[in-house]
Amino acid sequence: MNLFDFTEIPADGERWVRFAKDFLQHFGFYIETPPYRDAENVFDFCAVEQVSGKFNYHPFRWLVSCRHKAATRTAVKESEEADILERLLRSRADGFLGFYSTPVSPALEFYLSEIKSRFQIKDYRILDAKFLETHLATPAFARIALRYFPNYAQTHQILHLVEDKYLPILCEHCRKDLLKTLFTEDQQGVVVRLRRRKDVPDGAEIIANIYVACKGDCDVELQAKYCNGTNLNAVSWTDLSDLVLSPVFLDWTLSLVKQIGTDEVTYTTSALEKELYLLKAFAQYTLREPTDRITPSTQNIMFHK
């Protein structure tokens, strides 16, 4: 059985296109609207990536064609992708990218490989349901998965308890739970470290405190509270949305271990305790097992207890 039910996205097309844009943007593409509109391919858009080599650094423009046929469970046929070369030319695109909720038909795939081998297009790719699922199931794509597949959020584990109860990550100023808002908002919060100014030039750096805040006003208020008229400086801001990505989370953990093993940096006991709490709280998101099914009542316990 598939992890995601693509029929959760309505068949009329517009939401599927929004999903495609969000997905590709999250994947690292820059989204552009093509300079033409035609009645048949009203939903075409371009996704641009930078290609960098030893001598080359240039944008590669993909024409994204969205086809959402999950409700009929039929492959995308050649006849449903008319005038591919014309559309590429008009949108000044280098390659063709099919964003499909079902597989591509063999005839269409053959046609795409033919025009590629004749150098009429530089490349083509098909992102089908299988490809999309592989990414949607990872923590990095959790926010998009939850936004477009609400039933998935009800039946699958989106956070993994590491202790008996859910560990929130609260903004120290307004008390908003910033771990929860990672699933719903774009700009969330930051973790800020506060360093004590050295008494002697070659003394150890002391991390005296750490706070978590919403970006903007809450951060400014807390900086003033901790740093004005004291010997503390705010020295590092790390985005919460970065920290939940597995490689960044691992880096953060390893650098903490390295730092406390040297004479150059020391932590006060309270700062270290806060940092260890944050590691545990982030682990609920980063180390979750995405395929675990969960009952709605358990989901409620995690979020509302």
- Rounded to the nearest 10 degrees, the angle between the axes of helix 269-286 and helix 246-260 is 160
Pick 107 or 174: Cβ nearer Zn ion:
174
User: Is the Cβ of residue 161 or residue 170 nearer to Zn ion in the bound state?
Assistant: 170
Q: Taking the complex as a whole, how short is the minimal distance between the CB of residue 291 and Zn ion, in angstroms?
A: 33
Q: Which stretch binds Zn ion (CB under 5 A): 2-10, 15-23, 39-47, 167-175?
A: 167-175
Q: Which is nearer to Zn ion, 160 or 173 (CB)?
A: 173
Contact between residue 124 and residue 116 where contact means Cβ atoms under 8 Å apart: yes
Closest distance of CB 189 from Zn ion, Å? 7
The one segment of 21-29, 175-183, 197-205, 249-257 that binds Zn ion by CB under 5 A: 175-183
Comparing CB distances to Zn ion, the nearer of 97 and 218 is 218
Structure tokens at 80: 């449903």
Looking at beta carbons only, is 71 or 174 nearer to Zn ion? Answer: 174
Q: Is 180 in the site for Zn ion (CB under 5 A)?
A: no
242 by Cβ neighbours in 10 Å (0-12 / 13-18 / 19+) ranks as: middle
Applying CB under 5 A, which of residues 51, 82, 85, 174 lies at the interface with Zn ion? 174
Q: Which is nearer to Zn ion, 60 or 183 (CB)?
A: 183
**Residue that has been written with the tokens 């009429």 in this structure:** 120
* Residue ranges in 64-123 that form contacts with Zn ion under rule CB under 5 A: none
Binding of residue 171 to Zn ion (CB under 5 A): yes
Q: Do the Cβ atoms of 183 and 158 come closer than 8 Å?
A: yes
* Residue pointed to by tokens 């008009």: 90
Q: Which of residues 217-246 bind Zn ion (CB under 5 A)?
A: 218
Closest CA to 122 of 89, 95, 97: 95
Q: Which value, to the nearest 10 degrees, does the dihedral of the CA atoms of residues 292, 130, 68, 245 take? A: 60
Please give the size of the binding site for Zn ion, defined by CB under 5 A: 6
Task: Count CB atoms within 10 A of the CB of residue 19.
Answer: 22
**218 CB neighbour count, 10 Å cutoff:** 21
Shortest distance, position 237 Cβ to Zn ion, whole Å: 14
Greatest Cα pair distance, the chain, in angstroms, is: 75
Which listed residue (173, 183, 226, 265) binds Zn ion by CB under 5 A?
173
CB closer to Zn ion, 134 vs 187: 187
Instruction: Compute the least distance from the CB of residue 222 to Zn ion, in Å.
Output: 9
CA pair distance 87, 85, nearest whole angstrom:
5
Angle at CA 52, nearest 5°, toward 47 and 54? 165
List binders of Zn ion among 190-219 (CB under 5 A): 214, 218
21-121-60 Cα angle (round to 5) = 45
CB of 171 to Zn ion, least distance (A): 3
Single out the segment in contact with Zn ion by CB under 5 A; choices: 1-9, 166-174, 196-204, 220-228: 166-174
Work out the burial of residue 191: count CB atoms within 10 Å of its CB; fewer than 13 is exposed, 13-18 middle, 19 or more buried.
buried
* Window of 27-35, 54-62, 172-180, 276-284 that interacts with Zn ion by CB under 5 A: 172-180
Q: What is the DSSP letter of 251?
A: H
Closest distance of CB 73 from Zn ion, Å = 45
The contact set with Zn ion (CB under 5 A) reads: 171, 173-174, 176, 214, 218
